[in-house]
């Protein structure tokens, strides 16, 4: 039995190496660029990308903003983003996106993305019968109702028994 389990685990790690599942970010000219394998909170991303402006300086950031706005107007933002192999263009794009000055590639501003994320989370929770407990922890709504009902019934039973 142990051998079968070891063979299955070995096959799993050969087919799905951990480096592919939790791949580190690609090389970036800014070593402290935000990276969260499980996803970051929006407030954290806004705070981290605000630091990029100080890292690069006002002159460089304003130049990249002008280039970016020009590429958005010309309809070749993707080309501009991919032009720099150090990801500096992506970093400038993320800074201005999280600051709320430019839309993302789909044309949505950060407030619209944030609102869409909230409503999609609520919709997904309802579809999956989940109740959020905070910190990305969920419990099945039916299980929650059963637990609350059981605790209520036990409390009422204990109080009823003590009165007799």
What confidence score (pLDDT) does residue 59 get? 92
Radius of gyration of the chain (CA): 25
DSSP E strand boundaries for the chain = 130-134, 137-140
Using one digit for the tens of pLDDT, what is the confidence trace for 74-108?
888 888 888 888 888 888 888 888 888 888 777 78
- Placement of tokens 């063979």 in the chain: 7
What confidence score (pLDDT) does residue 32 get? 73
- Placement of tokens 């630091």 in the chain: 51
> What is the C-alpha separation between 7 and 13, in angstroms, rounded?
10
> What is the C-alpha separation between 99 and 92, in angstroms, rounded?
11
Sites in the chain below the pLDDT cut of 50 = 18-23
CB 29 within 8 A of CB 90: no
What confidence score (pLDDT) does residue 136 get? 60
As to burial, measured by CB atoms within 10 angstroms (0-12 exposed, 13-18 middle, 19+ buried), residue 64 is buried
- CA neighbor of 87 nearest in space, from 26, 129, 35: 26
> What is the C-alpha separation between 91 and 30, in angstroms, rounded?
8
> What is the C-alpha separation between 31 and 9, in angstroms, rounded?
34
Average pLDDT over the chain reads 75
């Amino acid at each position: 039995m142990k051998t079968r389990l070891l063979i299955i685990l070995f096959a799993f790690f050969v087919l799905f190496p951990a480096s592919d599942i939790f791949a580190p970010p690609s090389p970036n000219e800014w070593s402290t660029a935000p990276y969260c394998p499980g996803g970051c909170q929006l407030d954290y991303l806004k705070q981290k990308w605000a630091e990029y402006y100080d890292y690069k300086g006002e002159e460089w950031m304003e130049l990249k903003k002008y280039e970016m706005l020009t590429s958005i107007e010309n309809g070749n933002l993707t080309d501009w983003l991919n032009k720099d192999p150090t990801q500096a263009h992506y970093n400038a794009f993320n800074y201005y996106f999280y600051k709320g000055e430019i839309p993302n590639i789909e044309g949505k501003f950060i407030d619209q993305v944030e609102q869409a994320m909230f409503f999609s989370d609520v919709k997904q929770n309802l579809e999956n019968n989940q109740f959020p407990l905070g910190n990305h922890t969920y419990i099945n709504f039916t299980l929650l109702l059963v637990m609350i009902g059981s605790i209520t019934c036990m409390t009422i039973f204990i109080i009823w028994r003590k009165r007799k």
